[in-house]
Amino acid sequence: MKKVRLGSTDIEVTPIGLGVLTIGNTQLDLDLEAGADIVRYAYDRGIRFFDTAQYYKTYSYMRQAFKDIDMSKGSPDRPVIASKCLDCSYEEMEYAINECLKELETDYIDIFLLHEVREDPDWDMRRGAWECLKDYKEKGVVGAIGVSTHHLDVVQKMASVPQCDVVFPLINYAGLGIRKGNGPGTAEEMAKAISDCLSAGQGVFAMKAFGGGNLSENYIKALDYVKSTGVHSIMVGMGKREEVDRLIDYAEGRLDPAYRPDVSHKRIHVDQGDCEGCGNCITRCPNKAIFRNGSGLADIDYDKCLTCGYCAPVCPVRAIIMW
């Protein structure tokens, strides 16, 4: 598969990538062999760009998938890997970087990001973590640094941050999940912010082209829209070999223009019998899709839910289920 240069970096990526979150314990919860099989299948079919995060707990799948590949810096066979950390301090970010290197059995990580940056004052609160990223890039341990975000305000801000090499924003044609301050943003606004980052020479790869699965029925329309914004790569979560095949067919221009997938109706649910109303999931949800119902328990607003699964790990009684 033809590669493209990621902004002004020296990193070349495939125009589609595999988001490894989907195979992990917050979503499909595949066993090690099954999850590693998806990662390796994508690699063998030509995908060379993979996204993960400390929070996803998916490093083991990647280590297994790439166990026979030279993962050292400069190896021509190594895939490009992006990882992320939610923490704020220098020490926490340093731990996250070294944990990633150890878990992936490598001496180098191509891209490391501040994970899920929100509107101010979140950026200022994470200055320590940002300083760590800059230091580790200077050491040559990290190739490029930047942010992942659902907030167009943050994307706009990054266009004027010269040390930011890469931006990983949420965008889809319906604007699902896009945030602006404390409210919703539009696809048009996010596309403009992405354009500003591209003009600044930053690498941009996109998430949630299908809005967490809600736009999957319009498969080609969803991908075409994100591609039209000029992003260098589109990161898609996949859990089956046929999903990998379909995405590669799209990327290489072989997918039937009339293609429409069989849409899954899988949703996140809160078991009201188990929920204790602690509110952890409400705090954790990046899209404000979880609320307290009349009984004081957690419930889901399906107009906002992206099915990202971020809520599941913070539930102390495992009341959050997906079906």
Per residue in 71-101, pLDDT tens? Answer: 999 999 999 999 999 999 999 999 999 999 9
pLDDT at 323: 65
pLDDT at 254: 96
Structure tokens at 128: 């320590």
Q: Which residues contact 209 (CB under 8 A, 6 or more apart)?
A: 171, 172, 215, 222, 223, 225, 226, 234, 236
Report if residue 178 sits inside a domain: yes
Domain count, the chain: 2
Q: Are residues 151 and 281 in the same domain?
A: no
Residue 17 is part of which domain span? 4-251
Going by their DSSP bridges, the two strands 183-184 and 179-180 should be labelled as antiparallel
Give the whole-angstrom CA distance, residue 254 versus residue 307: 29
pLDDT at 263: 67
Candidates 251, 216, 200, 199; CA nearest to 49 is: 251
pLDDT at 161: 96
Per-residue pLDDT tens for 204-223?
999 999 887 768 889 999 99
Q: Are residues 126 and 241 in the same domain?
A: yes
Report if residue 231 sits inside a domain: yes
Give the whole-angstrom CA distance, residue 169 versus residue 153: 11
Q: CA dihedral in degrees (71, 77, 79, 85; nearest 10)? A: 20
pLDDT at 273: 78
Q: Are residues 145 and 275 in the same domain?
A: no
Report if residue 198 sits inside a domain: yes
Q: Are residues 138 and 241 in the same domain?
A: yes
Report if residue 256 sits inside a domain: no
Q: Which residues contact 222 (CB under 8 A, 6 or more apart)?
A: 172, 173, 209, 210, 211, 215, 216
Q: Are residues 148 and 279 in the same domain?
A: no
Count how many residues are written for the chain.
323
Give the whole-angstrom CA distance, residue 90 versus residue 74: 27
Report if residue 257 sits inside a domain: no
What DSSP string describes 41-106? HHHHTT--EEE--GGGT-HHHHHHHTTTS--STT-TTPPEEEEEE---SHHHHHHHHHHHHHHHT-
Residue at which a domain ends, from 216, 251, 286: 251
Report if residue 261 sits inside a domain: no
Q: Are residues 183 and 290 in the same domain?
A: no
Residues forming beta bridges with residue 85, ordered by sequence position: 114
Residues forming beta bridges with residue 81, ordered by sequence position: 50
Q: Are residues 57 and 198 in the same domain?
A: yes
Query: CA 225, 304, 111: angle at the middle one, nearest 5?
Result: 55
Residue at which a domain ends, from 205, 224, 251: 251
Q: Are residues 245 and 122 in the same domain?
A: yes
pLDDT at 264: 59
To which H or E segment does residue 225 belong? helix 219-228
Residues of the chain with pLDDT under 70: 214, 263-266, 317-318, 322-323
Structure tokens at 82: 């992006």
Q: Are residues 120 and 34 in the same domain?
A: yes
pTM given for the model? 0.88
pLDDT at 215: 81
pLDDT at 265: 64
CATH number at residue 148: 3.20.20.100
209 φ, ψ (degrees, to nearest 5): -60, -30
Q: Are residues 191 and 47 in the same domain?
A: yes
CA contacts within 13 A on the Cβ side of 183:
2
**CB–CB of 176/214 below 8 Å?**
yes
**What DSSP designation does 206 have?**
E
